[in-house]
Amino acid sequence: MSAQAGGFREAMANLGAAVNVVTSAGDAGRVGFTATAVCSVSDTPPMLLVCMNRRSEQNNVVKQNGTLCVNTLSSDQKDLSAVFAGMTEARSDDRFSKAAWNTLKTGAPVLERALASFDCEIKNVIEAGTHSIFLCEVLEVAVESQAKGLVYFQRNYHTLFGTPAASGRG
C-alpha cells in the first residue's frame, strides 16, 4: 500500500492515541478543538507538542493568543470530543457551555475532571505539510487519577480501565 494520503491515514488508524480537547483564550478570543496529535517532548523543561490543521479558522487564534491547554478526556467526557471536533451544532463559545471549566496560569480554559490538563505557553510554531506544530512549555498541570481513560483507535473510541497488561516477563 502506498504511503500517500489514503494509505497513510489507514495506517494511522492503527496508532491509538489519547483524546484531547485543546483550548486557548486571550486577546484573539476563546477557542477549542479536538486533537489526538499530542505528545511529550521533554520533562526538563516540561514540554508538549500539539498538531493542528492550518486550514482551521482556530489556528490563527491559537497563534495570536500564544497559550493553550491540553485537556485529556476521560471516558465519561467522550461526547465533548464530537462537540470540539465540530461534529455537532455547537459553535464557538457554545461549545464551552457543554462542560465546566476553570483556568490556571495562562487563562486558557481547563476542563474540570479531565484526566490531565497541561496549561502551556507556546514557545515555537513549525509549519509542516498541512499542519502547524505547536511546541509548548507546560507551566502548570491538573491531574484526575480516579477516571477511566479514553483513546481513539481504528476509528472508534475505547475506554482504558487502568489495569496494566501482562509484561510477558517471567
For residue 145, the model assigns a pLDDT of: 79
For residue 18, the model assigns a pLDDT of: 93
β pairing state of 116-128 and 46-53: unpaired
Of 53-62, 84-93, 109-118, which range is least confident?
A: 84-93
Q: 17-35: per-residue pLDDT in tens? A: 999 999 999 999 999 999 9
Q: 91-136: per-residue pLDDT in tens? A: 778 899 999 999 999 999 999 999 999 999 999 999 999 999 999 9
The widest CA-to-CA distance across the chain, in whole angstroms, is 56
For residue 166, the model assigns a pLDDT of: 64
Which domains are seen in the chain, by residue range? Answer: 18-160 (2.30.110.10)
For residue 5, the model assigns a pLDDT of: 67
Count CB-CB contacts under 10 A for residue 26. 17
Asked if 118 and 91 count as a contact pair (C-beta separation under 8 A), the reply is no
Residue 143 CA: distances (Å) to CA of 35, 36, 74, 147: 19, 18, 11, 10
Please tell me the distance from the alpha carbon of residue 111 to that of residue 48, in angstroms, as a whole number: 18
pTM for this prediction: 0.90
Residue 170 CA: distances (Å) to CA of 162, 166, 167: 22, 10, 8
Q: Between residues 155 and 59, which one has the greater pLDDT?
A: 59
For residue 101, the model assigns a pLDDT of: 98
Which residues touch 157 (CB under 8 Å, ≥6 apart)?
A: 19, 75, 78, 81, 150, 151
pLDDT of 64 over the 60 cut:
yes
